[in-house]
Amino acid sequence: MRLLPAAVTLSLAVALAYYVYVPMPDAIQEPWKLMLMDAGFRATMQLASVKAWLGIDHYIGSIRRSTAGFEGMMEGLLGPEQGGGVMPGVKVSDITFAGVPVRVYEPPAGGEGHLRRGLMFIHGGGWALGTGKRGSYDTIGRMLSDELNTVVVSVEYRLYPEVHFPVPYLDCLAAAKHFLSPEVRARYAIDPERVAVSGDSAGGNLAAAVAQEISTDETMSAKFSVQALIYPVLQALDFNTPSYLQNQNIPILHRPLMVHFWLQYLGADLSLLSQALANNHSALENSNITPELRARLDWTALLPPKHKRDHKPLIPKKGFQGTWKEVPGLLDVRASPLLAGPEVLAKCPRAYVLTCEHDVLRDEGLMYARRLQDAGVSVTSDHYEDGFHGCLSFITWPLEFDVGKRALRGYLDWLQDNL
C-alpha cells in the first residue's frame, strides 16, 4: 500500500512534464522557463474555455482577470520598483485624448523653452487582452519617458469582445490626431519634428495602420517622424508563411491562437478557424484578391532565401468564399497594413521593425520592412535569432529573459538615435 502514493505522485509528475514540455529550437535560452510560462498561459486559457462552456464567465474576461491577478500578486511581492517600475521624476496621469483613455508619462521638466520628444505607444494582446497601465508595459512607458526625455502616451483602446475592427483602430487614430494637435503639443512642450508612434504585436498592427493614415492625411499640420514596430501583426491572408509553419508550436503565440485572435478582431465566426489555417479564405477563386494585392504579401519574392528555405506557397484554387464575404475587414488595409499600396508606403515615416526568428509573425515583419525600403523609406531591421514572440515584455524577474532585455535596449537605443 505504501507504493500507491509514490505511484500517484510519479504519475502526476509525468503528466505534468508531458503537459509542460514543448520541443524548442536550440537557439532559445532557458527553454524550461519558457515552457513553464507557456504551460501557465495555456492552462489559463483552457480553464477560461471551461468556464465559458459552463456559462460562468466569458473566456476573454476570465483570462483578463487571471492575468491581472497574477500581475497584482507579483507587484505585491516585489513592489512596483522591481525592474524599473518607478522612475523618480516621471509624472503619470490617466486622462482621455478625444474621448479615448490614455496614460501619459511626462519626464522631469527641462529648461524653459526646450522642446521634448513625443511617443504614442500601443500595447499588444491580440486586440483582446492587455493594458498599458500594468506590468512590463507600464515599466517600458516609464523607461521611455525617463531615458529619452519623452512625453509618452499609452493608449487604452477598446478590446474584444466589447468591440471588434475597426473600433480599436479608430480609437488609436483619434488619440493620435489629438496627440499631434497644436494645442496638445504646446501643452506638453513637444517638438513637432520628433514624434513617434510605436507598438508591439497587435499594437504594432495598430501603430502601422495609424502611421499610414496620418502620413497620407493632408489636413494634419504635424505628422509622425518615426514608427517603431515590435514583432507586428500585419496581414490575415496567408497563415502558411514559412514562419507560421516553422514556429506554429513555439510559445507564446501558437499558430492557431494567432488565427483565433484574427477571427475575433474581424468579427468572423470562430468556427472558420480550420478554413483559415488552410488558407481557404484567400483561395484563387476569390476575385477580390487581385494579383497586385497578392504580390504585396508574396513571401517568395519578399523574403531572403534563409527564411524561405524549402517552403512552398499554399494558395488553394477553391475555398468556401460565401462565408468570408461576411468579413469585409479581411482586405482592409486598416486591418492589414501589409496590403497598402506603394504610394501609401512611400509617404510613411522612417521605420524600426523588430522581428524574432522563432515567431509566427516573423515573415510579415520582414516583408513590411522590405516593402517600405522598396518604397524609398529608411528602415532599420532589428532581428533576434534567439527571439520569440513577446520576448521584449519579459524583462523583470521571474519572467525575465536575456533576449528580452537586449531587445528592449536595442529599441531604446534606436529611438535615442532616431527620434
303 and 281 in one domain? Answer: yes
Please indicate, yes or no, whether residues 57 and 171 belong to a single structural domain of this protein.
no
What pLDDT, on a 0 to 100 scale, did the predictor assign at position 7? 60
Q: What is the Cα–Cα distance from 25 to 358, expressed in whole angstroms?
A: 8
- Spacing of C-alpha 82 from chain mean position: 24
Is residue 359 part of the annotated active site? The answer reads yes
Within 13 Å and on the Cβ side, how many CA atoms surround 285?
A: 11
Q: Is 390 within the bounds of a domain?
A: yes
E strand map for 323-400: 350-358, 379-388
Nearest alpha-carbon partner for 228 in 17, 413, 100, 21: 413
Residue with cell 517638438: 191
Name 304's Cβ contacts closer than 8 Å, sequence gap at least 6: 366
Catalytic residue list contains 389: yes
Q: What is the pLDDT of residue 81?
A: 46
Mean pLDDT score of the chain: 90
Whole-angstrom distance, CA of residue 281 vs CA of residue 285: 10
Strand partners, 105: 92, 152
Range of the domain at 294: 242-330
Q: Does 304 lie in the same domain as 246?
A: yes
363 among known catalytic residues: no
Let me know if residue 8 belongs to a domain: no
Number of domains in the chain: 3
What is the amino acid identity at position 231?
Answer: Y
pLDDT above 60 (res 217): yes
Same domain, 104 and 200: yes
- pLDDT higher than threshold 80 for residue 355: yes
| Residue 22 forms part of a structural domain | no
- Residue at 25 is within a domain: no
Q: Which of 304, 330, 356 is the last residue of a domain?
A: 330
| Beta carbons within 8 Å of 308's beta carbon, 6+ residues apart | 242, 299, 300
Same domain flag for 221 and 321 = no
> What's the pTM?
0.93
Least confident of 4-13, 21-30, 302-311, 334-343: 4-13
CATH code of the domain covering residue 387: 3.40.50.1820
The reply to whether 368 falls in a domain is: yes
| 346 lies in some domain | yes
Q: What span, in angstroms and rounded, lies between the C-alpha atoms of 206 and 17?
A: 38
**Given 330, 364, 381, which residue is the final one in a domain?**
330
pLDDT tens, position by position, 98-144 = 999 999 999 987 545 689 999 999 999 999 999 999 999 999 999 99
Sheet holding 350-358, edge to edge: 91-97, 100-106, 150-155, 116-122, 190-200, 226-230, 350-358, 379-388
Q: Is 74 inside a domain boundary?
A: yes
Is 397 buried (19+), middle (13-18) or exposed (0-12) by CB count in 10 A? exposed
Cis ω on the peptide bond leading into residue 166 (within 30° of 0)? Answer: yes
Q: Both 248 and 322 in a single domain?
A: yes
Task: Average the pLDDT over each of 34-43, 313-322, 353-362 and give the range with the smallest value.
Answer: 313-322
**Same domain for 231 and 100:** yes
pLDDT at 77: 47
130 and 176 housed in the same domain: yes
In the listed set 306, 330, 354, which residue is the last one of a domain according to the structure? 330
Out of 146, 359, 363, 382, pick the active-site residue: 359
Residue 288 covered by a domain: yes
Which of the following is catalytic: 138, 215, 389, 393? Answer: 389
Q: Which residues, including other chains, have CB under 8 Å from residue 163's CB and lie 6 or more apart?
A: none
> Which DSSP helix (H) or strand (E) runs through 175?
helix 167-180
Do residues 261 and 354 share a domain?
Answer: no
308's enclosing H/E stretch is helix 305-308
Are 103 and 218 contained in the same domain?
Answer: yes
Which entry of 136, 145, 154, 201 is annotated as an active-site residue? 201
Phi, psi for 277 (deg, rounded to 5): -60, -30
378 and 394 share a domain?
A: yes
Do 133 and 175 sit in the same domain of this protein?
yes
DSSP annotation string for 30-70: SHHHHHHHHHHHHHHHHHHHHHHHTTSS-HHHHHHHHHHHH
